[in-house]
């Protein structure tokens, strides 16, 4: 039985911390007991009646009393499925294929995929545009931001597919269809790892920005328009005014590998997208020119901090 699955995408309104992955190694988390013993004593069972009455009953009575027996049953507990607290993937513990799939996925979620020289060579100077160089991170490391169309083929296309598979699994989101990919640009934050001649780059974060036409403005939590107001629309826990407003850019995917979070990567990626998505026109999130598709709890926080409450919501 293959039970490789992930948590349901369950967006949380701004201010909810519950979706933050706890620290610590998930692989060492205690597991539930596999087997449980259920006891059923003889005295609980219905007694058999004998046909020819008293004599037999007397004989039975004369016999030395036998110690009551205890019947033991093994009950194989089916709950060997566990959820990793870092990547939130649910998998069957003990099933080799599941465990290996989880290990590979978890590694990508934490460290990011490798960005190889092959992909770089293929797209450099043609499909890839270097948007920013030598970006300083909060932890002192540096990185760069590249951008390319989301419908690329070849080595870059297959790297992007693997990346989006990981992101979709984490967000419990469906795969982006071809029409959406054709209307989208991908922004990657690449971080150099290693030293000397053995340096390599990793994809620490990504944004998929999509051309959209309309989105809805979010009702501020402090607004007198109550969230339960009949005219409001609930998009995964975020309450919006129902009128679609002209909006040029939607963020369909936003992801930063867990070991690179809170270093400003998402912030830089979103700013890079806002300033280059439409050539020659910098978009201002505070003026409602950027929308997010159904945000997660973490997404709602960055929506607030980067967009200052001006980010809109659209449905993919
Ligand atoms: C949401 C996510 C992309 C943020 O990436 P990040 O690189 O850590 O974000 P940044 O470092 O740029 O954060 C910028 C600001 O946003 C706010 N913020 C971001 N993540 C936050 C969090 N988990 N809790 C509270 N505030 C947060 C903070 O104000 C932060 O500034 P600070 O670190 O100086 O306090 C990342 O947590 C992630 O990939 N989460 C899992 C996938 C996901 O939920 N994606 C969102 C889909 S809508
Ligand atoms: Zn994991």
Span from the CA of 164 to the centroid of ligand 2 (angstroms): 17
Residue 268 has pLDDT above 50, yes or no: yes
The bound ligand whose nearest atom lies closest to the alpha carbon of 107 is 2
What is residue 35's predicted lDDT score, i.e. its pLDDT? 30
Residue 21 has pLDDT above 70, yes or no: no
The bound ligand whose nearest atom lies closest to the alpha carbon of 314 is 1
C-beta of 282 in contact with ligand 1 (< 6 A)? no
What is residue 149's predicted lDDT score, i.e. its pLDDT? 97
Class of 112-314 per CATH? alpha beta
What is residue 225's predicted lDDT score, i.e. its pLDDT? 57
Classify residue 56 by burial, with Cβ atoms within 10 Å: 0-12, 13-18, 19+: exposed
Residue for token digits 């060579």? Answer: 121
The arithmetic mean of pLDDT across residues 84-100, rounded, is: 92
Residue 250 token pair: 């939607």
Residue of minimum CA distance from atom 26 in ligand 1: 301
What is residue 23's predicted lDDT score, i.e. its pLDDT? 38
What stretches of 239-289 show up as alpha helix (H) in DSSP?
Answer: 265-276
3-state secondary structure of 202: strand
Q: Please identify, by atom number, the ligand 1 atom nearest to the C-alpha of residue 292.
A: 48
What is residue 282's predicted lDDT score, i.e. its pLDDT? 98
Mean pLDDT of the chain: 80
Q: Please identify, by atom number, the ligand 1 atom nearest to the C-alpha of residue 251.
A: 48
The bound ligand whose nearest atom lies closest to the alpha carbon of 29 is 2
C-beta of 93 in contact with ligand 1 (< 6 A)? no
Give the residue extent of every domain in the chain. Answer: 77-111, 112-314
Residue for token digits 């009950």? Answer: 75
Among residues of the chain, what percentage have pLDDT more than 70? 74
What stretches of 83-227 show up as alpha helix (H) in DSSP?
Answer: 96-111, 117-123, 154-171, 178-182
218 half-sphere exposure, CB direction, 13 A CA radius: 31
C-beta of 267 in contact with ligand 1 (< 6 A)? yes
Which of 218, 261, 291 has the most ligand 1 atoms within 8 A of CB, as the residue to mutate? 261
The confidence band for 102, taking pLDDT boundaries of 50, 70 and 90, is: very high
CB–CB of 132/146 below 8 Å? no
C-beta of 295 in contact with ligand 1 (< 6 A)? yes
Residue 307 has pLDDT above 70, yes or no: yes
What is residue 96's predicted lDDT score, i.e. its pLDDT? 92
- Please indicate whether residue 52 or residue 278 has the higher confidence score (pLDDT): 278
The arithmetic mean of pLDDT across residues 269-281, rounded, is: 98
C-beta of 256 in contact with ligand 1 (< 6 A)? yes
The confidence band for 34, taking pLDDT boundaries of 50, 70 and 90, is: very low
Classify residue 300 by burial, with Cβ atoms within 10 Å: 0-12, 13-18, 19+: buried
Residue 57 has pLDDT above 80, yes or no: no
Which of 261, 285, 302 has the most ligand 1 atoms within 8 A of CB, as the residue to mutate? 302
Span from the CA of 308 to the centroid of ligand 1 (angstroms): 14
What is residue 38's predicted lDDT score, i.e. its pLDDT? 29
What is residue 280's predicted lDDT score, i.e. its pLDDT? 96
Hey, CA dihedral for 168, 172, 178, 181, is it positive or negative? negative
Residue 158 has pLDDT above 60, yes or no: yes
CA distance 29 to 199: 33
Residue for token digits 């982006």? Answer: 176
Hey, CA dihedral for 95, 96, 101, 105, is it positive or negative? positive
227 half-sphere exposure, CB direction, 13 A CA radius: 11
């Amino acid at each position: 039985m293959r039970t490789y699955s992930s948590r349901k995408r369950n967006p949380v309104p701004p201010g909810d911390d519950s979706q933050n992955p706890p620290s610590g190694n998930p692989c060492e988390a205690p597991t539930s007991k596999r087997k449980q013993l259920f006891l059923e004593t003889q005295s609980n069972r219905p007694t058999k009646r004998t046909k020819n009455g008293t004599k037999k009953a007397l004989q039975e009575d004369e016999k030395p009393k036998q110690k009551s027996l205890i019947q033991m049953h093994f009950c194989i507990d089916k709950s060997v499925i566990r959820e990793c607290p870092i990547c939130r993937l649910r998998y069957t513990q003990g099933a080799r294929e599941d465990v290996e799939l989880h290990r590979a996925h978890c590694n990508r979620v934490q460290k990011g995929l490798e960005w190889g020289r092959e992909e770089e060579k293929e797209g450099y100077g043609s499909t890839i545009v270097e948007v920013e160089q030598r970006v300083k991170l909060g932890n002192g490391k540096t990185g760069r931001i590249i951008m390319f169309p989301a419908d690329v083929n070849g080595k870059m296309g297959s790297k992007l597919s693997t990346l989006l598979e990981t992101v979709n699994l984490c967000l419990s989101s469906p795969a982006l269809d071809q029409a959406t990919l054709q209307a989208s640009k991908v922004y990657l934050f690449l971080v150099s790892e290693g030293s000397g001649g053995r340096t390599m780059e990793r994809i620490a974060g990504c944004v998929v920005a999509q051309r959209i036409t309309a989105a809805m403005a979010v009702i501020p939590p402090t607004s007198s328009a109550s969230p339960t107001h009949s005219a409001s629309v609930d998009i995964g826990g975020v309450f919006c005014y129902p009128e679609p407003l002209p909006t040029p850019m939607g963020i369909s995917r936003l992801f930063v590998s867990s070991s690179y979070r809170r270093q400003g990567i998402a912030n830089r990626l979103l700013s890079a997208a806002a300033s280059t998505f439409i050539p020659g026109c910098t978009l201002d999130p505070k003026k409602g020119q950027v929308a997010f598709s159904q945000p997660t709890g973490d997404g709602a926080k960055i929506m607030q901090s980067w967009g200052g409450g001006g980010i809109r919501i659209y449905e993919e």
